Chains A and B, each alone.
Chain A
Amino acid sequence: MAGNIRATQARQRANFVIFLGPAILLLFLFYVAPVIVNIFIAFTDMGSDLKWTEISTENFERMARKDRILTHTVIPVTFFFVLGTLAVFNVTFGLILALVTTSVQARSGAFFRAIWLLPRMSPSVVYALLWAWVITPTDYGLLNQVANGLFGLPLTDLMGNNPVFLIILVNGFIGASLGMIILTSAIRSIPEHLFHAARVDGAGGWSIVRHITLPAIRWPLSFITVYQTLSLLVSFEYIWLVTDGGPFYDTTVYALYVYKRAFFDGQYGYGAAMALVLVIVGIVVALMLWRFLDMQRLMQEPRIEVN
């Protein structure tokens, strides 16, 4: 008996190594190790020649006191960008898309979802190029053709006048589809009988959404909020391609600013310090949302089912 138990324990240890080992190794190599290296670099004055002369908290002082672009432009822009994209597109509009495409005929629902997936499926450079054509400030731009040609509105220059609004649009048109897909499958998994029962009980469309659908998809909705917050905080790909952070620094979000300082200006030490702050902010935000949205319960067991 004792031998058996020992053999089982050995097997469990072996399984642990076989199944979790590779993932742990990769996680260590590509996440934990770079973070540790990053922490070190953050306290140096390393430049693009990878040499450093002193270890100090100079980089952090610079961030807090001397870098007016960071504190007066980049951080507010990041705040409005993340909040705006999240509130308007990635959560709200994703939810609306999911609600609408599940309540119309199955075929047209799938068609509209496919349309909203297109931006996500197209290469980011192509997508950015399309936006460049849309917002061209002359009367050749698609936006101006419609606004000016069709409705007689004056020519607009979205990039020049409303750059933050523009980057919210660009990211939101892509971001909405993730929420749409996850919430669609969540809505689909609500037993049909609940909707039938609610209709017989006298509920109209809006009451059904409010009293049946929304409570049932509360957990996926939390997940989307947390996940998208974190991914928007670190994303800059589309902004870089469409506006390159401009005009001036008006659309330079935090992650893009880090990238530019580190790799364009060769200030590795300063970039690492700012990146470290982003990592800390990300962890803090994740933990806060985890706490407030009760993500722990979401992870433990499926929450979109009944009973």
Chain B
Amino acid sequence: MARVELNNVRKAWGETVAVDDLTLTIEHGELVSILGPSGCGKSTILLMLAGIYAPTEGELRFDGQVVNEVEAKDRNVGIVFQSYALYPHMSVRQNIMFPMRFKQVPANEASRLVEEAADLVRVGDLLERRPSQLSGGQQQRVALARALVKEPQLLLLDEPLSNLDATLRMTMRSEIKSLQAKLGITTILVTHDQLEATTMADRIVCMKAGRIEQVGTPDDLYSRPSSLFVAGFIGAPPINLLPGKAVDGKLNVNDFSLTCEGAAAGDVTVGIRPERISFAEGGIPGTIDQTEPMGRETLYVVSCPLGSIRVLEAGSKAHRRIGEAVAISFDPSDTLVYDSRTEALLGDVRARAPS
């Protein structure tokens, strides 16, 4: 299992820069997710690690060895594509056998490994079928078996779950996670789905426009997003982001003044997660604009002097009616204040509602 390093990696096609100055280390046996919107360069990183693209600048290292010049076929990585990329004219057995053709493995040993890999992902009874005769979930398992059969030092997953329906996605999520833990294989999962990233990964690399925004555990990214982008990208329903101005110890949001704890000046954005806001007597007054029952919780949109605020309350039933007068409050320690210009988190600044 490999320890993967990317040092100042850049990938550009002419003027278009897909990945810029990217430095990242992935430890042995770690499951790291690269998360970002489409076009942020996350798949490019994967294809560079696979050896399909060569980095324009910088180096890639597997276990300390520079692999920039090593061809895809000699890197010993396994990859699962979003489309699964199964060879349509080959049976499941031939598909999984394909990587073994290029290894110096005796035939009976190879077929034993193929059957093992197929059993591992529970497609052992589908070996004679064609990919077109399989469901999406089955194809995905076959793709996984094909990636794993050669015992790669690195497993790359490119949006592996996005073509599956919601229920199957949840099953495969936990299956891939437990498989990865069992095999202890270094795995990189590329996804645009924050839920996929937060539920599966040991660490998340959040990317925007070819650059890393933040690297950390799922909890780091959720509770302490280091930039406005990460704050807005992670969390559903999304965080409340309130643009305002910091003047003389006050944070003026719309026409409302919050107390600023800590040193801030100029344009700032105050972020508060919807579930960190509660309805409480004596808080900021407002009225309910919208109710969205979400199952376990209910989302309210409250119109108040701060603007339109999303509030998430436990309970499946909407107790409050549209137009009802309410008051909301939040704990200053749950507020995140960002510099609107640099979009960076002002770590020691908090916002407090006047009491």
A contacts, CB < 8 Å to B:
191, 193-194, 196-204, 207, 211-212, 215-216, 218, 306-307
Q: How far is the CA of A194 from the CA of B77 in the complex (A)?
A: 16
Residue of A191, A204, A211, A215 near B85 (CB, 8 A) is A191
* Selected contact of B98 from candidates A201, A216, A306, A307, CB within 8 Å: A201
Cα A86 to Cα B74 in complex, Å, equals 38
Residue of B nearest to A305 (CB): B88
Question: Are A203 and B73 closer than 8 Å at their CB atoms?
Answer: yes
Main secondary structure of the interface of A (DSSP, over half): helix
Cβ of B103: which chain A residues have Cβ within 8 Å of it?
202
Q: Let me know if B98 and A211 touch, CB within 8 A.
A: yes
Shortest A125–chain B CB gap in Å is 44
Tell me whether B81 and A202 are in contact (CB under 8 A): no
Q: Which residues of B contact A197 (CB under 8 A)?
A: 79, 81, 85, 87, 146
Interface residue B78 (Cβ < 8 Å from any Cβ of A): yes
Q: Which residues does chain B contribute within 8 Å of A196, judged by CB atoms?
A: 47, 50, 52, 72, 79, 81, 85
CB-contact partner of A193 in B85, B89, B99, under 8 A: B85
11 extra interchain contacts, Cβ-Cβ under 8 A, other than A197-B81, A197-B146?
Answer: A191-B83, A196-B72, A196-B79, A197-B85, A200-B75, A200-B79, A201-B102, A201-B150, A202-B103, A204-B102, A306-B83
Q: Which residues of A contact B50 (CB under 8 A)?
A: 196, 199-200
Q: Which chain A residues border B52 with CB–CB below 8 Å?
A: 196, 199-200
User: In the complex, which of the residues A200, A204, A211, A215 has the most CB atoms of chain B within 10 Å of its own CB atom?
Assistant: A200
Measured CA separation A216–B89 after assembly (Å) = 8
**What is the CA–CA distance of A196 and B71 in the complex, to the nearest angstrom?**
12
Within B43-72, the residues touching A (CB, 8 Å) are 47, 50-52, 71-72
Known contacts: A200-B51, A201-B146, A203-B73. The answer to whether A307 contacts B88 by CB under 8 A is yes
Contact (A194, B87) CB under 8 Å given A200-B77, A200-B78: yes
Residues on A with beta carbons closer than 8 Å to the beta carbon of B101: 202-203, 207
Select from chain A the residue with minimum beta-carbon distance to B130: A307
Q: Is B81 a contact of A201 with CB atoms below 8 Å?
A: no
The smallest C-beta distance from A207 to any residue of chain B, in angstroms, reads 7
User: How distant is A205 from chain B, measured CB to nearest CB, in Å?
Assistant: 10
Q: Is B254 an interface residue (CB 8 A)?
A: no
Assembled-state Cα–Cα distance A273/B83 (Å): 57
CB < 8 Å: which of A191, A204, A215 contacts B89?
Answer: A215
Closest B residue by C-beta to A196: B52
Set of chain B residues within 8 Å of A215, measured between Cβ atoms? 87, 89
Task: Kindly identify, within residues 87 to 136 of chain B, every residue whose CB is under 8 Å from any CB belonging to chain A.
Answer: 87-89, 98-99, 101-103, 131-132
Query: For the complex, what is the distance from the CA of A207 to the CA of B71, rounded to whole Å?
Result: 15
Question: Which residues of chain B come closer than 8 Å to A307, judged between CB atoms?
Answer: 88, 131-132
Q: Nearest chain A CB to B323's CB is how many angstroms away?
A: 51
Given contacts A194-B87, A196-B47, A200-B72, contact A207 B102 (CB under 8 A): yes
Chain B residue contacts of A211, Cβ below 8 A:
87, 98
In the assembled complex, 23 residue pairs joining A and B whose CB atoms fall closer than 8 Å, in A order, are A191-B83, A193-B81, A196-B52, A196-B79, A197-B79, A197-B85, A197-B87, A197-B146, A199-B72, A199-B73, A200-B50, A200-B72, A201-B98, A201-B102, A201-B150, A202-B73, A202-B102, A216-B89, A218-B89, A306-B83, A306-B88, A306-B131, A307-B132
Given A196-B81, A216-B89, are A203 and B102 neighbors across the interface (CB < 8 Å)? yes
Task: Report yes or no: B99 in contact with A199, Cβ–Cβ below 8 A.
Answer: no
| Cross-chain contact A212 with B78 (CB below 8 angstroms) | no
Which one, A191, A199, A216, contacts B51 given CB within 8 A? A199
B88 lies within 8 A of A193 (CB): no
Q: Which residue of the partner chain A has the closest CB to B156?
A: A200
Minimum C-beta distance from B42 to chain A (A): 15
* Residue of A whose beta carbon sits closest to that of B73: A202
Closest-by-CB residue of B relative to A212 is B87
Choose among B51, B78, B102, B103 the residue with the greatest number of A CB atoms under 10 Å from its CB.
B102
* Shortest Cβ gap from A274 to chain B (Å): 43
- Which of chain A's residues has its CB closest to B146's CB? A201
Q: Which of B146-199 contact A (CB under 8 A)?
A: 146, 150
B71: chain A residues at CB < 8 Å are 199
Distance to closest chain A CB from B29 (angstroms):
20
- List B228-286 residues whose CB lies under 8 Å from chain A: none
Q: Report Cα–Cα, A200/B155, bound state, in Å.
A: 11
Chain A nearest CB from B69 CB (Å) reads 15
Is A201 in contact with B99, judged by CB distance below 8 angstroms?
yes
- Tell me the complex Cα distance, A212–B71, Å: 18
Are B79 and A216 in contact, with the CB atoms below 8 A? Answer: no
In the assembled complex, the Cα of A96 lies from the Cα of B88 at a distance in Å of: 23
Chain A residue nearest to B99 (CB atoms) is: A201
Q: B residues within 8 A CB of A207?
A: 101-102
Instruction: Please give, as numbers and ranges, the residues of chain A lying within 8 Å of B86 by CB-CB distance.
Output: 306
- Going nearest first, the 8 A-B pairs with the smallest beta carbon separation are A202-B102, A193-B85, A197-B85, A199-B72, A201-B99, A215-B89, A202-B73, A306-B88
Give every chain A residue within 8 A of B131 (Cβ-Cβ). 306-307
Residue of A nearest to B149 (CB): A201
A61 to chain B, nearest CB (A): 51
| A218 surroundings in chain B (CB, below 8 A) | 89
On whether the beta carbons of A198 and B98 are closer than 8 Å, the reply is: yes
